[in-house]
Amino acid sequence: MPESPNIEELNLRSEEVQEILSTPPAWIVRWGITLIFMFTIIILTLSFIIKYPDFVTAKIIVTTEKPTERVVTRFSGALNNIYIQNGDTVGVGQRLAIIRNTANTEDVYFLKAILDTLPLRSEGFIFPTDLTSNLVLGDIETAYINFEKSFVDYILLKELDPYTNQLSGNRQSLVEIKLRLKDQIRQKKVLEQEYKLEKRDFERHERLYGKGVISEQEYEAKKLEFLQMEKNISTMAISISQMREAISSAGQNLKTTQINQQEDDTRFLTNLSQSYNVLKKAIRDWEYTYVLSSSIEGVVSFQEFWGVNQYINSGEVVFSILPTDRSTLVGKLTIPSQNAGKVTLGQKTLVKLDNFPYQQHGMLSGKVKNISISPDKEGNYFVYISLPNGTMTSYNRRLPFDQELIGNAEIITEDLSVAERIFYKFKDIFKY
């Protein structure tokens, strides 16, 4: 066994160790407090310098400024025709698909083309009924029949023109009556002159009779002639009055015929115009119900693998159309009301996309462009983010934009330092 150490050596070593421990080096005493103070000052300074921003986080959809169009069915039925393929570029108003219905699609668009090239005018409107009478129009059939009837009635009125002969006869009758009236007036003037002469002659006979020159029979004969002349003038006056009454009646008949003609022209034209507009509306309603079309220019994408005769329910999204103009991108997000007060216009926003992990591709940078002034029914606010750099990330990489991008947005509401956050915590503790 090894020998045990000497107890005195242990005691001696213990005194030396004790002396070292009880008497620290002079440089520690001289610089220790200074170093601790400086270290504390450095920590406090860094706490004021180092910024730790406050975020409001929400899900975001990155899309074009003109939103992506989602083509939704408005009628349940089977697909009758599909005119495009997935990924095709379509224009405004282009037909994408037709839902099966009782009308023949080509017949409907043939009728629509005729109506579009023949605007309704008050004069010279000709519609080719011989080309459209056998079209299969389905739901539009009733509106077309009413239009065709109104058009035929209007054309018959214009071609037969029943009021022209009647107006011509009324005018001719009025002219002849006026001519007869002038003759009657001239005859009356002649009779009046004869009456004056006859009156003077009667007065002479009356004086002669008073002197006994002529007999009573001769006097009475002359008086009878004079009375007959008065009767003729009275009859002529009555005839002139009747002529004037006939002129007034003929003028009234002429005016009535003109009014009837105007009323019929207006009524038939109004009926034609109304049936014309009803027919065009029926075609628009048919398109709205059965035709799936694009309202923007863009690239079409199938939501599922669609085929002819495949049944689609009403309200189902069939196609999505991404606008061709992708130069301006925006972000749409929804934030709860408890954080809405922190968000203001112009705040910087960082977007981390699910499609492209930000650790590998970087983040998009944007700014708050618009905030809804009132919440929705769930108490959330809509926020729109502008992306001035598009899909250029923080790693200077341009991401492809072929579809809407989904991710998380972090809106930097306040750029607080560590010290400010600590003070906020203390204020929160002592607020009561």
Interval 220-236: pLDDT, tens:
787 888 788 888 888 88
Specify which of 179-188, 223-232, 284-293, 342-351 reaches the highest per-range mean pLDDT. 284-293
Band of pLDDT at residue 210, cut at 50, 70 and 90: confident
pLDDT, averaged across the chain: 80
- Per-residue model confidence (pLDDT) at position 209: 76
Pure H helices in 23-73: 26-49
In this prediction, residue 2 has a pLDDT band, given cuts at 50, 70 and 90, of: very low
pLDDT at 420: 63
Residue 375: both structure tokens together = 């919440």
Summarize the confidence of residues 298-316 as an average pLDDT: 87
Is residue 280 pLDDT above 90, yes or no?
Answer: yes
- Taking 80 as the threshold, does the pLDDT of residue 44 lie above it? no
At residue 55 the predicted structure's pLDDT band, cuts being 50, 70 and 90, is confident
What lies within 8 Å, CB to CB, of 417 at 6+ separation is 47, 48, 49, 50, 51, 52
User: 119-128, 279-288, 348-357, 393-402: which range is least confident on average?
Assistant: 119-128
More confident residue, 205 or 94: 94
Contact in structure between 350 and 62 (CB atoms under 8 Å): no
Residue 11 pLDDT > 60: no
Phi (first) and psi of residue 399, to 5 degrees? -85, 140
Does the pLDDT of residue 10 top 50, yes or no? no
pLDDT interval class at 107 (50, 70, 90): very high
Band (pLDDT 50/70/90 cuts) for residue 32 is low
In this predicted structure, what is the pLDDT of residue 346? 86
pLDDT for the residue 111: 93
Residue 123's region, left for phi above 0, alpha for psi from -120 to 50, else beta, is beta
pTM: 0.61
